[in-house]
Amino acid sequence: MDIKQIEALSSVISSSVAQLKQLQSSLKTTEHTAATTKAEFLKPSLEVVAAASQLIALVRTPERYLMDMSTAHQLSASLRVVVETHVVEILRDKGKGLKKALSAEEIGAYNHVNHLKLARVLRLLATHHVFDEVTPNVFANNAISNALDTGKSLAELEASPDEKYDGSNGIAALVGIFSDETFHNAVCTADILKDPQTTNSFSPYDAPFALAWPGTRNIAMYDWLNLPENNYRKKRFGMGMHGMNSMTPSDAILRGFDWSSLPPGSIVVDCGGGVGSVSLPIVQTCPQIHLIVQDTAPVVAEGPTFWQANQPQALAQGRVTFQGHNFFEPQPAENKNISVFLLRMIMHNWPDAECIKILKNVRNSCTRDTRIVIVDNIMLFASRSQEIAGQETGTSDPDALAPEPLLANWGVANSLSYKQDLNMLSNHNACERTVPEFASLLSQANFRIVEVHQAHQSWLPQVVAVPI
């Protein structure tokens, strides 16, 4: 056992915990979420998570460690059970006593899940700190399970199951996507990677998704989500994107490119913008900007409802408009003199060839003054060195790296980025990218990078490029 390394990691934990204690003393509440969402808690929290997980890898036997990892799918599967059978809402509305607890049998009477099986699902989750098992077979929500609450009453959930995620924070929807569609797809990753026919293919039709569902051999996942029979999944996907955004500061899009520098009358096109929820803060804070939300027709059709609920004035004044558009086609002819094309979480959905097609279509309607703003994960290598011989450096910002003895990419504290990278592989045969990979993509569509805004593991970084 590497005792020196273990001691170094435990001293990172002790000093970060001391910082958290000091910060906590300035807060009036001990509530878990109140603290962890505050910006100043971010670095010490990251350090504790990174160091503690690195420590576990050192002190656990390798065999135990591998068993824990290879059985982790049961966590996803169990989360899907509780999200789809409304356990959190049942405990919230029907729970008894101070802790609002119910036995598995009582929960099962509401959601019709066999209580003996449900208790085992809930116990695995409670063992991983999601729910409390307050007495044998009796469970209550805790801070972590509460984040899965859709906010809907049981009557609403039963009356319109397709709408169940609407109006919520989107976390249950995101967990639903990860533990259902993405989980199914990931099961087939090894089959696609081992098959000589598909291993070297970067076609979106050769994603593990193609093997995971009946009839998905020749359809990309987004087109499949838009099929009428997948309406429930499409809605859940839209709310899941909202969930992803709800985990970052609401003004994250403003922390990078300077939107306020755009002159009056500037037009911003949010390509693949969903309903436009991400660009809402741009419209709210920059009255000089007109926003066009572009996405496939079925998705953008939901846009006016979102804006009516969140910024009705912009809708009434025509400051936000909607375009059903396929970004593999040339930009609509009326899109002239566009100041900025925003592409948030778009590049990571597509293999290089498709990204270049999307970028070229954008490039063809750029003027000399147009900017493109790409918002996506920027990947770091796990090694301390971020250089590949003969290539430009992977990160221009040394502050993006974790201090030693932590893994340079923040290890498990940053694992969602790496899981998302593989989610992109299993869903779309796509990937998250490093700065040099973005530079290469962009140059093939005649753009060059002028700004990189790192986000230090807290919101999505931005890459700003201009036409060459």
Ligand X SMILES: C[S@@+](CC[C@H](N)C(=O)[O-])C[C@H]1O[C@@H](n2cnc3c(N)ncnc32)[C@H](O)[C@@H]1O
- Regarding 165 and contact with ligand X (CB under 6 A), the answer is no
Please tell me the distance from the alpha carbon of residue 417 to that of residue 433, in angstroms, as a whole number. Answer: 10
In the complex, least distance from residue 349 CB atom to ligand X, rounded to whole angstroms: 6
CB of 75 to ligand X, least distance (A): 24
Task: Report if residue 345 touches ligand X, rule: CB under 6 A.
Answer: yes
Q: Which residue type is seen at 137?
A: N
Q: Which SS3 state, helix, strand or coil, does residue 322 take?
A: strand
Q: Determine, following the binding rule CB under 6 A, whether residue 272 of this chain makes contact with ligand X.
A: yes
Q: Is 10 in the site for ligand X (CB under 6 A)?
A: no
- State the minimum distance, in angstroms, from the CB of residue 272 to ligand X: 3
362 belongs to the binding site for ligand X (CB under 6 A): no
* Site stretch for ligand X (CB under 6 A), options 63-71, 177-185, 320-328, 401-409: 320-328
User: Could you say whether residue 125 binds ligand X (CB under 6 A)?
Assistant: no
Determine, following the binding rule CB under 6 A, whether residue 459 of this chain makes contact with ligand X.
no
Instruction: Give the count of beta carbons closer than 10 Å to the beta carbon of residue 115.
Output: 17
**274 belongs to the binding site for ligand X (CB under 6 A):** yes
Distance CA 323, CA 321 (A): 7
| Options 310-318, 345-353, 386-394, 446-454: segment touching ligand X (CB under 6 A) | 345-353
Nearest residue (CB) to ligand X, 147 versus 346: 346
Beta bridge partners of 452: 463
CA-nearest of 87, 86, 116, 114 to 102 is 87
383 forms part of the interface with ligand X (CB under 6 A):
no
Q: Binding ligand X by CB under 6 A: which of 20, 175, 282, 346?
A: 346
Distances from the Cα of 248 to the Cα of 34, 133, 220, 303, 460, angstroms: 14, 30, 28, 21, 8
Question: Given the complex with ligand X, which of 20 and 210 has the nearer CB atom?
Answer: 210
Which range in 183-191, 207-215, 343-351, 391-399 contacts ligand X by CB under 6 A?
Answer: 343-351
- CB atoms under 10 Å from CB of 165, counted, come to 27
Q: In this chain, which residue has its C-beta nearest to ligand X?
A: 272
CB 310 → ligand X: shortest distance, Å? 14
* Nearest distance from C-beta of residue 312 to ligand X, angstroms: 21
Nearer to ligand X, 92 or 433 (CB): 433
Is the Cβ–Cβ distance between 394 and 382 less than 8 Å? no
Contact letters (x/-) for ligand X, 204-243, by CB under 6 A?
------------------x------------------x--
- Catalytic site includes residue 348: yes
276 binds ligand X (CB under 6 A): no
Question: What is the rounded end-to-end Cα distance, in angstroms, of the chain?
Answer: 54
Determine the interface stretch with ligand X among 71-79, 153-161, 323-331, 389-397 (rule: CB under 6 A): 323-331
The reply on whether position 328 binds ligand X by CB under 6 A is: yes
Give Cα separations from 424 to 85, 168, 296, 306, 367 (angstroms): 27, 25, 19, 27, 32
Count of residues in contact with ligand X, rule CB under 6 A: 17
Radius of gyration for the chain, computed over Cα atoms and rounded to the nearest angstrom: 23
Whole-Å CA distances, 302 to 72, 161, 238, 296, 322: 36, 18, 10, 11, 10
Separation CA 97–CA 115 (nearest Å): 20
CB 327 to ligand X: min, Å: 4
Cα(101)–Cα(116) distance, integer angstroms: 17
Q: With CB under 6 A as the contact rule, which of the stretches 98-106, 123-131, 160-168, 272-280 interacts with ligand X?
A: 272-280
Residue 251 · residue 281 · CB < 8 Å? yes
Q: Nearer Cβ to ligand X, position 89 or 354?
A: 354
Binder among 148, 171, 278, 402 for ligand X (CB under 6 A): 278
Residues β-bridged to residue 451:
464
Q: Which is nearer to ligand X, 130 or 342 (CB)?
A: 342
| Given 242, 325, 348, 428, the catalytic residue | 348
Give the nearer residue to ligand X in terms of CB position, either 183 or 341.
341
Give the residue with the Cβ less far from ligand X, 81 or 299.
299
The per-residue DSSP string of 237-300 comes to HHHHHHHHHHTS-TTGGGSSS-GGGSPTTEEEEETT-TTSTTTHHHHHH-TTEEEEEEE-HHHH
User: Which one among 252, 299, 359, 430 touches ligand X, defined by CB under 6 A?
Assistant: 299
Query: Using CB under 6 A, which of the segments 180-188, 268-276, 285-293, 421-429 binds ligand X?
Result: 268-276
- Of the candidates 272, 263, 268, the residue with the CA atom closest to the CA atom of residue 290: 268
3-state helix, strand, coil in the chain (%, to 5): 50, 10, 35
Whole-number Cα distances in Å, 5 to 9, 382, 452: 6, 17, 34
Q: Give catalytic residue positions.
A: 348
**Under the rule (CB under 6 A), what is the footprint of ligand X?**
222, 241, 245, 272-274, 278, 295-296, 299, 326-328, 344-346, 349
